A = this chain, B = another copy of it.
Amino acid sequence: MNFSSKLIEEAVHAFASLPGIGRKTALRLVLHLVKQPPEMTQQLAGALVKMRRDIRECEQCHNISDDKRCAICANPHRDQRLVCVVEGIRDVMAIEDTGQYRGLYHILGGVISPIEGVGPADLNVDSLIQRVQAGGVKEVIMAISPTIEGETTIFYLSKKLRDSGVQVSTIARGISFGGDLEYADELTLGRSIVARVPYKGMSE
């Protein structure tokens, strides 16, 4: 693309360095900013720079945080005895959006993957063990994707946590609500038959 402007070229290049933004989309965004008052660009740039400068990692759960402790860890109304172990920040947001969980989190920062060269030392494993050993935690819930790497990670963590006396659980797996049996994969369907639960009626 021929921009005939170095300024536009550089702004397009900067936007296009973001994931999922191609040069055409980047140009559309830049031309949008050109049409808007300069304050809008300053506001966007300011919010991004401020966010990147001030954002921290929660010292307890490794979530992104505005302060030393994240809003979840710092909330006295949350159940401090429950720790939900997740791969990343997005998982926290997804679980929070359900409104069904009132405990704390622990962000691993990934899963154990020998193929990608990710070992336990690359993840926030030690801080989890220390957190549990420090006492006060009753249950550790593994909310990790049921992939081979995820299962390996759960197995490794549960072994590490065995001596601490804490209860380890995983989120329920099975057929999605609204899911079609016909299109469910064999593994999920097979396991959900083996792990069937007593019917509790429509009370809830």
| Beta-carbon contact of B17 and A64 below 8 Å | no
Closest-by-CB residue of B relative to A71 is B4
Which of the candidate stretches A31-39, A125-133, A166-174, A182-190 sits at the interface with the other chain?
A31-39
A152 on the interface (CB 8 Å rule)? no
- Main SS class of interface, A: helix
Compute how far the CA of A20 lies from the CA of B38 in the bound complex, rounded to whole angstroms.
20
| Beta-carbon contact of B44 and A5 below 8 Å | no
Contacts of A2 in B (CB 8 A): 93, 96-97
Which of the candidate stretches A22-30, A141-149, A191-199 sits at the interface with the other chain?
A22-30
Please give the number of chain A residues whose Cβ is less than 8 angstroms from any Cβ of chain B in the complex. 57
**How far does the Cβ of A57 sit from chain B's closest Cβ, in whole Å?**
10
Compute how far the CA of A40 lies from the CA of B42 in the bound complex, rounded to whole angstroms.
17
| Beta-carbon contact of A1 and B31 below 8 Å | no
Q: Spell out A's residues near B (CB within 8 Å).
A: 1-8, 10-11, 13-15, 17-21, 25, 27-34, 38, 40-55, 63-66, 70-72, 89-90, 92-93, 96-97
